[in-house]
Amino acid sequence: MRTLKTQVGIVGAGPAGLLLAHLLRLEGIDAVVLEAKSRQYVEERIRAGVLEQGTIDLLNEAGVGQRMMAQGLPHTGIELLFDRQRHRIDLSELTGGRQIMVYGQHEVVKDLIHARLAASAPLLFGVEDVRVADFGSSAPKLLARHEGEEFEWTCDFIAGCDGFHGVCRDALPDSARTVFERVYPFAWLGILVKAPPASDELIYASHENGFALFSMRSPEITRLYLQCSPDDDLANWPNERIWSELDSRLATDDGWQPNVGEIIQKGITPMRSFVCETMQSGRLFLAGDAAHIVPPTGAKGMNLAVSDIRYLSRALTSYYRTGDETGLLHYSTTCLKRIWRAEHFSWWMTSMLHRFFDHSPFEQRIQRAELNYFSTSRAGRTAIAENYVGLPWTD
Ligand SMILES: Cc1cc2nc3c(=O)[nH]c(=O)nc-3n(C[C@H](O)[C@H](O)[C@H](O)COP(=O)(O)OP(=O)(O)OC[C@H]3O[C@@H](n4cnc5c(N)ncnc54)[C@H](O)[C@@H]3O)c2cc1C
């Protein structure tokens, strides 16, 4: 067994773990990042694609925003489509100039990996059997196997950034863990299409057949989603059925249609709201999907991971600079305020835009009235806009 020391042991090289390692390095704090998958796997994993204003600003301030600013697609609005009519939500005008950036999560991950490896800072891929221990003490341990060899890191702190299926959340004692969860009666079928996006802005469509979303990843790649059954199988979705459903659900009276092209990737994502309270025990801290999940309708998943890391990196920096533990002691409480705001917005957008097949005709009319109000009233559009671009940091 090789024994090593570091200040912060980080489990997971998703956006949360990599960003934490990067922000700590800028402050001269040592960390090791342990990732179960290969570098190629995490760099090609297609997930979120909408960055809030606060995320854009943070990546720029941290010096990893150059490629995002050059290749990302800044957006100042989104559209809601129902009854064949498009309604624009002018994000910038309604929020005093704030905007979003469409830039794939995997591109953010590539930028952060590049920065870490360029600095020759420790980042191990293909790590097996990661365990956390002794986090109730002042010397928590991170144990793992890498390339056949057993390792043990003695750390000051451990950050569990290992996603929803990681090991860190389960390591919290039962007394520190209360779970709040909602599973939705539908999922999203997502496709990547080799075709230029036919609109410059995202279009969220509510239709009697189910929800659809028009989106994009780059000037050459369109990203489209269809509400499907939670136990659906990709075999049920041949290309002809996908295009036919997109034709119906995205149909408009003005004749707009997405561009058709080769489907280069298909996948089904379940929809869940999930929060684990608390997000810390002793010297183990959870961040990102390890602690919470939102349905993707509000585009909040990766942005929330970034928000947790902003708080955790500041708390750790303050501890190492001055010995002040206040930020660490209040980490979970501070994060959870923003998390529950995003949980509500994601649940609400999901509830307003999806088809619930068990809804009565009364409930369907109520849902349509809500959508109509929030699309056409300035107050309604402002509520959507300020949540969508992300509320400004208050601390
Ligand atoms: C299929 C899918 C599609 C999504 N689409 C969207 C979207 O369109 N919009 C949106 O806003 N959000 C979306 N999300 C959510 C968003 O991608 C996440 O919120 C974001 O990835 C959170 O980042 P993270 O770093 O916390 O977790 P992750 O990105 O999950 O990173 C965790 C990392 O930990 C690693 N890991 C896990 N277990 C271990 C272990 N035992 N040891 C070592 N490493 C481990 C994993 O391999 C992974 O690299 C999607 C999520 C999924 C799963």
According to the model, what pLDDT value does residue 100 have? 97
> Of all protein residues, whose CA lies closest to atom 9 belonging to ligand 1?
48
Q: Enter the pTM of the model.
A: 0.96
Helix (H) or strand (E) holding 267: strand 262-277
Separation of 150 CA from ligand 1 center, angstroms?
A: 26
Specify the ligand 1 atom closest to the Cα of 167: 41
Separation of 50 CA from ligand 1 center, angstroms?
A: 14
Specify the ligand 1 atom closest to the Cα of 166: 38
Structure tokens at 278: 């608390």
In the predicted model, what is the mean pLDDT of residues 288-307? 97
For residue 283, give the DSSP letter: T
Specify the ligand 1 atom closest to the Cα of 225: 8
According to the model, what pLDDT value does residue 95 have? 97
The CA-atom distances, in angstroms, between 118 and each of 19, 38, 115, 160, 356 are: 15, 18, 5, 24, 49
For residue 282, give the DSSP letter: T
Whole-number mean pLDDT of the chain? 97
Q: pLDDT category, 392, cuts 50, 70, 90?
A: confident
Tell whether the model's pLDDT for residue 395 goes beyond 90.
no
Separation of 12 CA from ligand 1 center, angstroms?
A: 9
According to the model, what pLDDT value does residue 36 have? 98
* β-bridge pairing 203-205 and 212-218: antiparallel
The answer to whether the beta carbons of residues 278 and 154 sit under 8 Å apart is no
In the predicted model, what is the mean pLDDT of residues 202-212? 98
> Of all protein residues, whose CA lies closest to atom 20 belonging to ligand 1?
302
Report pLDDT digits (tens) over 46-81: 888 999 999 999 999 999 999 999 999 999 999 999
Amino acid in position 274: F
The dotted CATH code for 185-272+358-389 is 3.30.9.10
Separation of 290 CA from ligand 1 center, angstroms?
A: 8
Q: Which residues does the annotation mark as catalytic?
A: 75, 204, 296, 300, 388
In the predicted model, what is the mean pLDDT of residues 151-156? 98
Q: Quick check: CB of 300 below 6 Å from ligand 1?
A: yes
In the predicted model, what is the mean pLDDT of residues 358-369? 97
Q: Quick check: CB of 302 below 6 Å from ligand 1?
A: yes
Residue whose CB lies within 8 A of the most ligand 1 atoms, among 289, 297, 346, for a mutation test: 289
Q: Quick check: CB of 36 below 6 Å from ligand 1?
A: yes
Residue whose CB lies within 8 A of the most ligand 1 atoms, among 47, 292, 389, for a mutation test: 47
CATH of range 2-75+99-180+273-348; options 3.40.50.2300, 3.90.850.10, 3.50.50.60, 3.40.50.300? 3.50.50.60
The answer to whether the beta carbons of residues 347 and 182 sit under 8 Å apart is yes
Delimit the domains of the chain by residue range. Answer: 2-75+99-180+273-348, 185-272+358-389
Separation of 163 CA from ligand 1 center, angstroms?
A: 5
Cα–Cα distance measured from residue 77 to residue 164, given in angstroms and rounded to the nearest whole number: 31
In the predicted model, what is the mean pLDDT of residues 88-111? 97
Report pLDDT digits (tens) over 13-51: 999 999 999 999 999 999 999 999 999 999 999 888 999
Cα–Cα distance measured from residue 383 to residue 391, given in angstroms and rounded to the nearest whole number: 11
Q: Quick check: CB of 7 below 6 Å from ligand 1?
A: no
Tell whether the model's pLDDT for residue 394 goes beyond 80.
no
According to the model, what pLDDT value does residue 179 have? 97
Q: Quick check: CB of 91 below 6 Å from ligand 1?
A: no
Tell whether the model's pLDDT for residue 322 goes beyond 80.
yes
Cα–Cα distance measured from residue 352 to residue 370, given in angstroms and rounded to the nearest whole number: 7
According to the model, what pLDDT value does residue 349 have? 98
Specify the ligand 1 atom closest to the Cα of 34: 43
According to the model, what pLDDT value does residue 150 have? 98
Percent of the chain predicted with pLDDT > 90:
97
Does 185-272+358-389 match 2-75+99-180+273-348 at the fold level?
Answer: no
According to the model, what pLDDT value does residue 393 have? 81
According to the model, what pLDDT value does residue 76 have? 97
Place of tokens 């994502």: 269
According to the model, what pLDDT value does residue 46 have? 87
Separation of 289 CA from ligand 1 center, angstroms?
A: 6
Specify the ligand 1 atom closest to the Cα of 298: 11
